[in-house]
Amino acid sequence: MIQRDEQTATVADREDAGAFVRKPVAFDTRITSDGSSPWPVEPERYRLIVARACPWANRAVIVRRLLGLEPVLSLGITGPLHDERSWRFHLDPGDRDPVLDIEYLREAYLRADPDFTGGVTVPAVVEVASRKLVTNGFQQLTLDLSTQWTAYHRPGAPNLYPEHLRAEIDEVNAEVYRNVNNGVYRCGFATSQDAYERAYHALFGTLDRLSERFATRRYLVGDTITEADVRLWVTLVRFDAVYHGHFKCNRQKLTEMPVLWAYARDLFQTPGFGDTIDFGQIKQHYYGVHRQLNPSGVVPVGPDPTNRLEPHGRAELGGRPFGDGTPPGPPPPEERVPELAPA
């Protein structure tokens, strides 16, 4: 059965008395620079396929942009809506990816494994020449962009996964993934009251601890933006638009958590973060595809996204966003998202 969400198990796949359980990805092959994988790092050989709606894909878009990999790793963008046949390129002319010449991402999965029947997810990396899926290993992909593609990083690219902080980044990422990134899904797709409440309390308990942490430090680990900030932020930026109402994560809105709200605004206003976000597509996907949660398919108009441009005051905590590096330049014209407008 095709998965009907970014990396989720199907609604029927439940364990632990109604708890949502995320299935592992199907293709976790890595692209490496040291010969340890059948897929070597090579410019223009691969195409990164994402959806603007998906937080897991958003991570890859941000990291690719911060590192300046646009010239060597092209970007294909599916539309926000899909059906049982998987993510579809319905925003492109002729409803086909202009490079891979496929209508559904599933076609690349079947080229890699003709007998594949599992979930089709983004982000995914596809070899352009063969149009075969290489990997949909979303957890490792961004780390490899930082560590395996260094020969093609732009001048001034930040170090998002510095060696001396990796143990701490990995530890923080594990809790954030369990209780926040995946935690919102555990709330939204729980099918029992107990499972929902466990996920709810774990989510907000972690957000409270993060608020305490950010009260005295600008970034999650160290004094610069790292992989840890990227992973946390993609959930925070979607919180009020989707997770608060649609997934019943409704103790508070992000705008009602002052420290986290300021942190989220700080990153939204940082090049490479807010300029990857399309709130229209985010809401179209969640409210339009999750018919088990929103049977009508009606997409809410609000909340107003422009408040993310309000001053955040976080610079007074110190920190250097890009360390010894520099901000990325503007995104390529074909990758630009709509400017924020009042709801």
The mean pLDDT value for 282-311 works out to: 96
Q: What is the pLDDT of residue 26?
A: 77
Alpha carbon distances (Å) from 55 to 17, 113, 115, 124, 282? 27, 26, 28, 13, 9
Alpha carbon distances (Å) from 74 to 22, 61, 233? 28, 11, 23
The tally of domains found in the chain comes to 2
Are 175 and 319 within one domain? Answer: yes
The DSSP secondary structure of 257-290, one letter per residue, reads: SHHHHHHHHHHHTSTTSGGG--HHHHHHHHHHH-
pLDDT digits 0-9 by tens, 56-114: 999 999 999 999 999 999 999 999 998 888 999 999 999 999 999 999 999 999 999 99
Rounded Cα distance, 301 and 291, in Å: 18
Are 133 and 208 within one domain? Answer: no
Are 65 and 130 within one domain? Answer: yes
- Is it the case that residue 2 has pLDDT exceeding 60? no
Q: Is the separation of the CB atoms in 43 and 72 below 8 Å?
A: yes
Strand partners, 46: 127
Q: Write down the residue that tokens 């991570």 correspond to.
A: 59
Query: Which of 104, 125, 152 marks a domain boundary?
Result: 152
Helices and strands (H and E) in the chain: how many: 9, 10
- Catalytic: 286? no
273 in a structural domain: yes
Are 194 and 295 within one domain? Answer: yes
CATH number (domain holding residue 117): 3.40.30.10
Strand partners, 39: 31
Residue type, 211: S
336 in a structural domain: no
pLDDT band at 7 (very low <50, low <70, confident <90, very high): very low
Q: Which of 54, 109, 152, 287 is catalytic?
A: 54
Q: Write down the residue that tokens 């732009």 correspond to.
A: 154
Residue 205 has phi, psi (to 5 degrees) of -65, -40
pLDDT digits 0-9 by tens, 68-77: 999 999 999 9
Mean pLDDT of the chain: 94
Buried-state track 140-158, b at ≥16 Cβ within 10 A, e below 16:
bbbbbbbbbbeebbbeebb
- Is it the case that residue 9 has pLDDT exceeding 90? no
60 in a structural domain: yes
119 in a structural domain: yes
Which helix (H) or strand (E) element contains residue 82? strand 82-83
Are 266 and 321 within one domain? Answer: yes
Binding residues for glutathione: 87
pLDDT band at 25 (very low <50, low <70, confident <90, very high): confident
Are 185 and 126 within one domain? Answer: no
Q: What percent of the chain is predicted at pLDDT more than 70?
A: 96
The mean pLDDT value for 181-197 works out to: 98
The mean pLDDT value for 233-255 works out to: 98
335 in a structural domain: no
Estimate to the nearest angstrom the gap between the alpha carbon of 231 and the chain centroid. 7
- Catalytic: 187? no
| Packing angle, helices 227-236 and 55-67, rounded to 10 | 140
Are 226 and 189 within one domain? Answer: yes
Are 181 and 144 within one domain? Answer: no
- The boundaries of the domain holding residue 67 are 14-152
Query: Which of 152, 178, 194 marks a domain boundary?
Result: 152
Are 199 and 275 within one domain? Answer: yes
pLDDT band at 23 (very low <50, low <70, confident <90, very high): confident
Residue 77 has phi, psi (to 5 degrees) of -120, 115
The mean pLDDT value for 298-309 works out to: 97
User: What region, left, alpha or beta, does residue 97 occupy, with left being phi > 0 and alpha being psi -120 to 50 degrees?
Assistant: beta
Residue 342 neighbours by CB under 8 Å, 6+ apart: 304, 306
Q: Which of 109, 185, 200, 286 is catalytic?
A: 185
Are 108 and 226 within one domain? Answer: no
Q: Report pTM.
A: 0.94
Q: Is the separation of the CB atoms in 282 and 186 below 8 Å?
A: no
Are 193 and 104 within one domain? Answer: no
pLDDT digits 0-9 by tens, 29-45: 999 999 899 999 999 99
Rounded Cα distance, 124 and 46, in Å: 10
Q: Is the separation of the CB atoms in 225 and 314 below 8 Å?
A: no
CATH number (domain holding residue 219): 1.20.1050.10
247 in a structural domain: yes
Query: Which of 98, 125, 152 marks a domain boundary?
Result: 152
Are 115 and 188 within one domain? Answer: no
108 in a structural domain: yes
81 in a structural domain: yes
Residue type, 290: H
Rounded Cα distance, 5 and 285, in Å: 9
The DSSP secondary structure of 126-166, one letter per residue, reads: EETTTTEEEE--HHHHHHHHHHT-GGGPPTT---SS-GGGH
